[in-house]
Structure 1
Amino acid sequence: MEFIVEKIGMSRTVSVPSVPVTLLKVLDTKVCEITENSKAIVAYSNGKKFNKAIEGQQKKYSLSKEFNRFATMTVANTEAGDLDVSGLSEATVLKTTFKTKGRGFAGVMKRWNFAGGPKSHGSRFHRAPGSIGNCEWPGRVQPGQKMPGQYGNTNVSVKNDVVSFDAETGILVVKGSVSGPNGALGKVKVAK
């Protein structure tokens, strides 16, 4: 079972060995249509404007204007309606998937923690990557060479233990951290 969640932020438990936790809010989600092998088309809101295509989908599934995004997920529901979140009450381990913060085009020191060169007089090697090639054999740059480039803005999945789940407010508390900024939308899948 999968759920769409919003990251609220991090906190800690009040117990004596304090545990760092992340607070996630399970979004209001409507199951529009059940397809084959328990997959479903679901609608949720992410607060952005919608276009004519989404307006057509809202009419097709007779949804209110607040549901402006659609996704295909594995759900516990057998028919269309509100998403069944009862599976989160018994869950002990979740697989959370969020996009990391995008840091744009970054050099090797920021992206791969390279040490750089000496910063003293006469050096012309400060923040550069250094040599990237090999000898005569294989005479090319190996695939996977650490180079400057796009840093962040990738999907990262982490397994987290469930500390608690409040079904009334939809607040899910998981042990440890998850990627992304506060307010980011992500997916949560019951692993155990």
Structure 2
Amino acid sequence: MEYIVEKIGMSRTISVPSTPVTLLKLVETKVCEVGENNRAIVAYAKGKAKNKAIAGQQKKYNLSAEYNKFATLTVANSEAGDLDVSPLSSAVVIKVSFDSKGRGYQGVVKRHGFGGGPRSHGSRFHRRHGSIGNCEWPGRVQPGMKMAGHMGNEKVTVKNEVVSFDSENGILVLKGSVPGHNGAMGRVRIVK
């Protein structure tokens, strides 16, 4: 079963020793249409985006204006309506997928952990990557060469243990950290 969640942030348990936990809030989701293998089209609220395509979907599934995003998930429901969150109460391990924090264009020291050169005067090789090519053959840079470039802002999936689930408020508490910034939208999938 899959669910759309919003990352609230991190905290810790009061037990001794304390455990770092991440708090995720379930986004209110409506199941619009259930297909085979429990794959369903679901609608949820995110921002204020609206266009004619979204308006057409809202009219087709008889949804209110705040449901302006649509996704395909594996659900426990057998028919359209509110999303069934009861499987989360017995979940032990969950896979969490978020976009990691974007860090822009970074050099090789930060991006790949290169050591760099001496920091003394006259070195001229401090945080650079050094040579990247070979000799006359193959006469090009090999694919996969570790170089400076865009870092972060890519989908990352991690496994976390479930500490608790508050079904009344829709708060999921997971052991450890998950990728992404506070307020980021992502997905969780029950593993066992």
User: TM-score over 0.5 for the alignment?
Assistant: yes
Give secondary structure in 2 for the equivalent of 1:109: helix
When the two structures are superposed, what TM-score results if normalisation uses the length of structure 1? 0.96
What residue in structure 1 maps to residue 10 of structure 2?
10
Instruction: Quote the residue 2:116 is aligned against.
Output: 116
8 Å CA contact 2:6–2:26 kept in 1: the answer is yes
Are 2:150 and 1:150 equivalent residues in the alignment?
yes
Cα drift, residue 140 of structure 1: 3.9
Partner of 1:66 in structure 2? Answer: 66
Q: Which residue is equivalent to 1:21? A: 21
Q: TM-score normalized by structure 2?
A: 0.96
Instruction: Give the superposed CA RMSD.
Output: 1.2
Residue 36 of structure 2 corresponds to 36
Moved more, 163-172 or 30-39: 30-39
Instruction: State the Cα distance separating 1:47 from its structure 2 match.
Output: 2.2
Larger mean Cα displacement after TM superposition, 52-61 or 110-119: 110-119
**1:109-158 deviations in Å (ceiling 9; x for gaps):** 12112122222221221221101123455554332111111100000000
| Structure 2 segments unaligned to the other structure (5+ residues) | none
Partner residue of 1:127? 127
Superposed CA deviations along residues 44-65 of structure 1, whole A, max 9, x for unmatched, are 0112322221111111100001
Mapped partners of 1:136, 1:175: distance in 2: 52
**Deviations 1:44-94 (CA, angstroms, capped at 9, x unpaired):** 011232222111111110000111100001001000000000000000000
Q: Which moved more, 1:141-150 or 1:66-75?
A: 141-150
Q: Is this contact kept in 1: 2:5–2:186, CA < 8 A? A: yes
**What CA distance in whole angstroms lies between the structure 2 residues aligned with 1:20 and 1:50?**
38
**In the alignment, what sits opposite 1:99?**
99
Matched, 1:168 2:168: yes
Unaligned runs of 5+ in 1: none
Q: Percent identity?
A: 71
Code of the aligned partner of 2:133: G
The answer for the alignment partner of 2:57 in structure 1 is: 57
Structure 1 window deviating more from structure 2 (103-112 vs 167-176): it is: 103-112
